[in-house]
């Protein structure tokens, strides 16, 4: 059987990084088996419909490089569908669900339920009071054909429910969790078709996965409890049951589900901060999956090669932003400067440091800054204070820097530095190699007492990239201006 996997999100307006990880594992598995990876949209819950969500979803996946072979795409601003098993949007497949629910009703495996909301609430309350798990009490299972016809003629609303078999053990295999079996007594008579005529997730997902010839259903573990109901449906239709893979939830550091309230969770949050797609994907692959060796940096091709469900844990994977930062910084460090120059552009423009023309005109200067600081940043947005630091001649010092600059000997040190600068044409390697020794000799300041005030005086920071290179980049005139500014403002 060909390997065909699908990622089947509901377009809720943003893509949670947990969803991106599911999509990624789908993709890696499919590619590793020379199979197909399909993007299907599950939009039958009309109350959750969000304008523009589809576009955002596809763009986020595309940005991450998790590219599907079949399903929904955007081309020239239009949503289009490609593949022989479409439509790939559930709301366009209603006739297929109708056709299939009729088969179940015909066979007596699904039934119409006319119970009012009031009745269902009452039953639930009663069950809760008795300490039982709330479940439909199967009241409409036994309706005669006459009663059903009468209700329909009277125009009563109804849903269609799945007739769960009595007293059976429902069994299936999960590639991560092994064999699972559930007593059918514990399964509710699931609604398959809602009163608005739309299918529920449970019904649509089975019809679609079967008709789209999906071989492996890879999804979050929150769907594990739905699987027995779906297995029953496969059995009722006489269809081959696909393989199931339920992935561990992406957790935060407190081992709780990673939620929006704790900060960045959507793919666009990370994109907007300047995480590189390769790095985000690389890191996400490691959240729940452990590669065999010690290597942690993988290209997409390497991930495809290495990935297997054998090494995916049963328990949740912890999403650790610090680790992500480390992975991202490795990628930034190794990116070439020209590429970074392009990538950093939107951040610099957005921060209003330069306009478009200035950005082009100062390319060399920017590339020098990028080269100098790319080892220091975790994500691209972090370049902003560095670029800012090289602009203008004012030195913005915080309290700690101010304290350092007030110390004894600093004034003399900075004056000596200005003198040395006045004696040269411009700052070059030669100058930066000798200047620290010279100043030490002249002023007696050394070590921390030499480096910290010098850096603080010209940059406003006590730590930062290579100081010699920083001096070269600032240049003689700017350095003297900054030193004078500091002398004036911060020293005593
Ligand atoms: N539509 C479901 C979701 O939003 C898909 C679940 C599944 O993959 O079966 O995640």
Nearest ligand 1 atom to the CA of 6 is 8
Distance (Å) from CA 213 to ligand 1 centroid: 17
Question: Looking up tokens 């020239």, which residue turns up?
Answer: 76
- 434: nearest Cα among 471, 459, 409: 471
| Residue 222 Cα to ligand 1 middle (Å) | 9
- Contact of 312 with 248, CB cutoff 8 Å: yes
Centre of ligand 1 to C-alpha 277, Å, is 23
Residue in 5, 27, 42 to alter for ligand 1 test, most ligand atoms within 8 A of Cβ: 42
- 223 touches ligand 1 (CB under 6 Å): yes
**What is residue 294's predicted lDDT score, i.e. its pLDDT?**
92
Give the ligand 1 atom nearest the CA of 219. Answer: 8
Q: What is the pTM of this model?
A: 0.91
Task: Spell out the alpha helix ranges (H) of 53-159.
Answer: 53-64, 94-106, 117-129, 145-153
How far apart CA 245 and CA 217 sit, in angstroms, is 6
> Which domains, ranges and CATH numbers included, belong to the chain?
4-90+250-318 (3.40.50.620), 93-247 (3.40.50.620), 335-389 (1.10.8), 399-490 (1.10.10.350)
Task: Report how far ligand 1's centroid is from the alpha carbon of 8 (Å).
Answer: 5
* Mutation pick for ligand 1 pocket among 50, 201, 245 (CB with most ligand atoms within 8 Å): 201
Question: What pLDDT is stored for residue 386 in this prediction?
Answer: 93
Is ligand 1 within 6 A of the CB of residue 219? yes
Beta carbons of 109 and 162 less than 8 angstroms apart: yes
163 lines ligand 1 (CB under 6 A): no
The secondary structure element, H or E, covering residue 138 is none
pLDDT for the residue numbered 247: 97
Among the options 122, 173, 185, 260, which is catalytic? 260
Atom of ligand 1 nearest to the CA of 42: 1
Residue of 47, 219, 225 with the most ligand 1 atoms within 8 Å of its CB, for mutation: 219
- 271 part of the active site: no
Q: What confidence score (pLDDT) does residue 101 get? A: 98
What pLDDT, on a 0 to 100 scale, did the predictor assign at position 446? 92
Report the separation in Å between the CA atom of 121 and the middle of ligand 1, taken as the mean of its atom positions: 27
The predicted pLDDT at position 45 comes to 79
User: Is the CB of 218 inside a 6 Å radius of any atom of ligand 1?
Assistant: no
| pLDDT at residue number 336 | 96
Residue whose CA is at the smallest distance from ligand 1 atom 3: 9
Q: How much is the pLDDT for 264?
A: 82
Rounded to an integer, what distance in angstroms lies between the CA atom of residue 474 and that of residue 468? 10
CA of 81 to the centre of ligand 1 (A): 19
Residue nearest atom 2 of ligand 1, based on CA coordinates: 9
Residue 226 Cα: closest atom of ligand 1:
9
Nearest CA to ligand 1 atom 10: 9
Distance of CA 345 to the CA centre of its chain: 23
**Mapping DSSP to helix (H, G, I), strand (E, B) and coil, where does residue 27 land?**
helix
What's the Rg (C-alpha) of the chain? Answer: 32
* Ligand 1 pocket residue status of 205, Cβ below 6 Å: yes
pLDDT tens across the length of the chain (492 residues):
899 999 999 988 889 999 999 999 999 999 999 999 999 999 987 776 677 889 999 999 999 999 999 999 999 988 999 999 999 999 999 999 999 999 999 999 999 999 999 999 999 999 999 999 999 999 999 999 999 999 999 999 999 999 999 999 999 999 999 999 999 999 999 999 999 999 999 999 999 999 999 999 999 999 999 999 999 999 999 999 999 999 999 998 888 888 877 778 899 999 999 999 999 999 999 999 999 999 999 999 999 999 999 999 998 889 999 999 999 999 999 999 999 999 999 999 999 999 999 999 999 999 999 999 999 999 999 999 999 999 999 999 999 999 999 999 999 999 999 999 999 999 999 999 999 999 999 999 999 999 999 999 999 999 999 999 999 999 999 999 999 999 999 997
String of DSSP letters for 202-219: HHHHHHHHHHTT--EEEE
Which atom of ligand 1 sits closest to the CA of residue 209? Answer: 9
Residue 481 confidence (pLDDT): 97
Ligand 1 midpoint to CA 317 (Å): 19
């Amino acid at each position: 059987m060909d390997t065909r996997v699908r990622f089947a999100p509901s377009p809720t307006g943003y893509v949670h990084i947990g969803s991106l990880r599911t999509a990624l594992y789908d993709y890696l598995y499919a590619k590793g088996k020379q199979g197909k990876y399909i993007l299907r949209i599950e939009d039958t819950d009309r109350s959750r419909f969000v304008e523009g969500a589809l576009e955002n979803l596809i763009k986020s996946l595309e940005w991450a490089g998790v590219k599907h072979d079949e399903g929904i795409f955007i081309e020239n601003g239009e949503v289009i569908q490609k593949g022989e098993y479409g439509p790939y949007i559930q709301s366009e497949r209603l006739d297929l669900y109708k056709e299939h629910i009729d088969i179940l009703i015909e066979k007596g495996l699904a039934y119409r339920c006319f119970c009012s909301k009031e009745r269902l609430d009452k039953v639930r309350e009663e069950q809760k009071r008795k300490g039982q798990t709330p479940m439909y009490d199967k009241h409409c299972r036994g309706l005669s054909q006459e009663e059903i016809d009468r209700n329909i003629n009277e125009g009563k609303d109804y849903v269609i429910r799945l007739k769960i078999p009595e007293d059976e053990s429902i069994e299936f295999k999960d590639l991560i969790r092994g064999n699972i079996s559930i007593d059918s007594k514990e399964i509710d008579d699931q609604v398959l078709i809602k009163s608005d005529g739309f299918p529920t997730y449970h019904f649509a997902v089975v019809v679609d996965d079967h008709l789209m010839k999906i071989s492996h259903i890879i999804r979050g573990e929150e769907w594990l409890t739905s699987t027995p109901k779906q297995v029953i449906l496969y059995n009722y239709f006489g269809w081959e049951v696909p393989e199931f893979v339920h992935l561990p939830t992406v957790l935060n550091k407190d081992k709780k589900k990673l939620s929006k309230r704790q900060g960045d969770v959507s793919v666009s949050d990370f994109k907007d901060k300047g995480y590189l797609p390769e790095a985000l994907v690389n890191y996400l692959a490691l959240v729940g999956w452990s590669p065999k060796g010690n290597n942690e940096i993988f290209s997409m091709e390497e991930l495809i090669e290495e990935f297997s469900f054998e090494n995916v844990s049963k328990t949740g994977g912890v999403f650790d932003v610090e680790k992500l930062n480390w992975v991202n910084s490795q990628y930034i460090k190794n990116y070439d400067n020209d590429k970074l120059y392009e990538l950093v552009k939107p951040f610099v423009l957005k921060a209003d440091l330069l306009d478009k023309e200035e950005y082009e005109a100062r390319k060399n200067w920017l590339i020098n800054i990028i080269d100098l600081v790319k080892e220091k940043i975790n994500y691209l947005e972090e370049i902003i204070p560095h670029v800012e630091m090289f602009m203008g001649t004012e030195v913005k010092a915080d309290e700690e820097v101010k304290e350092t600059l007030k110390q004894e000997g600093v004034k003399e040190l900075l004056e000596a530095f200005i003198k040395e600068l006045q004696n040269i044409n411009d700052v070059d390697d030669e100058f930066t190699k000798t200047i620290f020794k010279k100043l030490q000799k002249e002023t007696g300041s050394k070590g921390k007492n030499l480096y910290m005030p010098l850096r603080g005086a010209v940059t406003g920071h006590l730590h930062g990239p290579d100081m010699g290179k920083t001096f070269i980049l600032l240049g003689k005139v700017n350095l003297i201006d900054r030193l004078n500014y500091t002398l004036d403002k911060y020293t005593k």
